[in-house]
Structure 1
């Protein structure tokens, strides 16, 4: 009972490699495997409090992609922002949270590797494939837009915080996927016009999109975005119809 209670409040530490499935564990572990591409993705995996109490229930899963400042070799850096930070502070979520780390400090996310990791975690756990959610901030927000175009049939909802948003991507995103965009109007790293133009295009194409444009907020719009409780309530309600 004690171990199970601890698991519900901790992040599961692991290491996964592209094209290698990682099995769920009932305690804190680190796994390694031989790879084809040698792309190493270490990650945290959070289980909701009732995951181990309801063995016949499937759960949703939120994939969180961090920003450039958390990239590199120190996995603990992921806990600085977003849902991982909230978990450390004691917040509970109704779904699993997968938070991989980009091992390259100066490179973009390898979204193919992220997708392989996501699939392995889904297959190894009781995850409802109709309730896979996607979010990212800054560099991770840009990667979230990219994943939404590369894997349009995978996600039930997406939230992007201050990410670069190539407008042509709008044509490739699933029209049935609700989207919530956050950006600060004083952002000096990724201009707010990135989100302005993307949201405008999505609305023009009749997508289900929300836009929270913070006044007098710089690049760290994630401080407010990820403490918006209604974001997670909204997300948990979304489910793919196919």
Structure 2
């Protein structure tokens, strides 16, 4: 199967039926009320150059979650930052890159929908489930922390850039998953103390955490974090411990 490089065209407009508090439909099941809503996630999926759909080789996959500025609009907007931007500029990765778009300008990522999309992509491609990586910036960084707490048995490694943290639930994260945190000291949108406190707590619990704290950098710390070549080498060297 011929796969365009470096991006596949928009593959699917995905609709997932999810249990959710705000329902589009309500049904009664054995005297219990079940509410159902639909979430539409559009996404780009990048394949490495040596990927073969019918081959025996399996690949890692990096799930990237963008920030609030790229939400809800044209799908092309997700190429403004992070790994998608690097792909447009010609960078190649040794793993697949899944980059969905949050359809809501002023809502959080729907973590359950993202996980269902990830599961669908993994099962329909040659993905090594022990090498699934997670990263996000700003609002997407907050969602990355959320996914790590809700689905601790999924990811081999995680990198979070200037995201809000679920400090009280830090112990829910898989202790064997390496974490790399990036934040700018002068961030006036999501304070650097969010990452400071989370890293401190994780280290006290003997988690594997690296922390890059940029001096004289504001909220746009992703511009430096995602151009750190060693980040992708670090990802590629990680494998989930079963």
Question: Could you say which structure has the higher strand fraction?
Answer: 2
In 1, distance between residues paired with 2:40 and 2:57?
Answer: 31
What displacement does 1:8 show?
3.2
In 2, distance between residues paired with 1:207 and 1:42?
Answer: 34
Superimposed CA distance per residue, residues 198-234 of structure 1 (whole angstroms, 9 cap, x where no aligned partner): 0000110000000000000000000000000000000
Superimposed CA distance per residue, residues 73-121 of structure 1 (whole angstroms, 9 cap, x where no aligned partner): 3101100000000000000000000000000000000000000000000
Q: Does 9-18 or 39-48 show the bigger shift? A: 9-18
In 1, distance between residues paired with 2:6 and 2:77?
Answer: 18
The residue that corresponds to 1:158 in the other structure is: 158
In 2, distance between residues paired with 1:146 and 1:165?
Answer: 8
> After the TM superposition, which parts of structure 1 deviate over 3 Å for at least 4 consecutive aligned residues?
none
SS in 1 for 2:194: helix
In 1, distance between residues paired with 2:100 and 2:169?
Answer: 23
The residue that corresponds to 2:6 in the other structure is: 9
In 1, distance between residues paired with 2:234 and 2:183?
Answer: 18
What displacement does 1:19 show?
5.0
- Number of residue pairs the alignment of both structures matches: 224
Q: Which consecutive unaligned segments of at least 5 residues does structure 2 have? A: 19-35
The residue that corresponds to 1:216 in the other structure is: 216
Instruction: Give the TM-score taking structure 1 as reference length.
Output: 0.89
In 1, distance between residues paired with 2:7 and 2:109?
Answer: 25
Task: Kindly report which structure 2 residues correspond to 1:191-210, keeping only aligned pairs within 5 A, or say none.
Answer: 191-210=191-210
SS in 2 for 1:217: coil
The residue that corresponds to 1:101 in the other structure is: 101
Q: Does 1:146 align with 2:146?
A: yes
- Backbone CA RMSD of aligned residues: 1.5
| Greater radius of gyration (CA) | 2
